[in-house]
């Protein structure tokens, strides 16, 4: 049946109106999100959010898309621009913004760590979580923790943080230092002079009054210990 409006338009000499179908923006964003999830290890390893375009898009529908991340590093965290290219005839290219959060590895304690104790690799175990769930000052590199002394008691199953270590020198170059050496059934204290600066838990060379140069661990202000 021919509608009255259609007949009226034809008789009046008015061309029929064509309602061209545009690319569905929500569907496009969904395809980009799926691509990014696959690229970055799935929902268990990456949180993906694709943002709608800032302006309205009038794109022809496309079933053949090429989605790319400029640079494409697999360790991206934060906001990125994603390229979307239609490979069909008279295709188009746009960029969409997205946010990616990948799980990061940090370290937690296997046991309680007493004040001043020097951390060893076996005191820590790796853990993984999304950045928003990890303390901002967490230690992500084991080398930043091992061999350093903590300046507070750190409970078991606690994330190791940068604030657990002091950046203030407790031994300064040229400072008079007392050096402790202890073992099974003995404890010896010697005097010497520091040959460098050290914070709590750092190694420092000390020249003893006897003339011998030893390496010790800074413990507190003006005090170091030779670890056997």
| 9 occurs within a structural domain | no
| Three-state SS at 35 | helix
CATH number reported for the structural domain that contains residue 134 in this entry: 3.90.1210.10
Nearest to 116 by CA among 213, 217, 21: 217
Q: Are residues 53 and 86 in the same domain?
A: yes
Distance CA 2, CA 190 (A): 108
Q: Are residues 36 and 77 in the same domain?
A: yes
- The model's pTM is 0.58
Q: What is the pLDDT of residues 66-86, one digit of tens each?
A: 998 866 556 677 889 999 999
Q: What is the pLDDT of residues 170-214, one digit of tens each?
A: 899 999 999 998 877 788 899 999 999 988 778 899 999 999 999
Q: Are residues 133 and 182 in the same domain?
A: no
Domain boundary among 102, 132, 154: 102
Q: What is the pLDDT of residues 89-110, one digit of tens each?
A: 889 999 999 999 989 999 999 9
Q: What is the pLDDT of residues 150-177, one digit of tens each?
A: 888 999 999 999 889 877 788 999 999 9
Q: Are residues 96 and 118 in the same domain?
A: no
Domain housing 185: 169-226
Average pLDDT of the residues in 28-57: 88
Domain boundary among 76, 102, 128: 102
Question: What is the DSSP annotation of 167-188?
Answer: -SEEE-TT-EEEEEEEETTEEE
| 2 occurs within a structural domain | no
| 68 occurs within a structural domain | yes
Return the percentage of the chain with pLDDT > 70, whole number. Answer: 88
Q: Are residues 155 and 115 in the same domain?
A: yes
């Amino acid at each position: 049946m021919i509608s009255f409006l259609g007949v009226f338009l034809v008789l009046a000499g008015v061309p029929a109106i064509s309602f061209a179908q545009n690319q569905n923006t929500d569907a496009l964003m969904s395809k980009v999100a799926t691509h990014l999830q696959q690229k970055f290890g799935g929902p268990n390893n990456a949180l993906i959010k694709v943002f709608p375009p800032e302006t309205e898009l009038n794109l022809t529908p496309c079933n053949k898309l090429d989605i790319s991340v400029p640079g494409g590093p697999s360790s991206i965290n934060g906001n990125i621009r994603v390229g979307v290219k239609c490979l069909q005839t008279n295709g188009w290219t746009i960029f969409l913004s997205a946010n990616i959060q990948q799980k990061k590895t940090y370290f937690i304690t296997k046991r309680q760590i007493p004040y001043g104790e020097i951390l060893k690799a076996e005191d820590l175990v790796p853990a993984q979580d999304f950045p928003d769930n990890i303390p901002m000052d967490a230690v992500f590199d084991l080398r930043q923790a091992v061999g350093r002394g903590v300046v507070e008691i750190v409970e078991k199953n606690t994330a190791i943080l940068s604030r657990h270590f002091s950046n203030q020198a407790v031994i300064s170059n040229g400072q008079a230092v007392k050096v402790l050496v202890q073992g099974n059934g003995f404890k010896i204290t010697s005097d010497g002079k520091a040959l460098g600066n050290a914070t709590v838990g750092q190694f420092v060379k000390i020249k003893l009054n006897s003339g011998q140069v030893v390496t010790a661990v800074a413990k507190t202000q003006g005090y170091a210990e030779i670890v056997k």
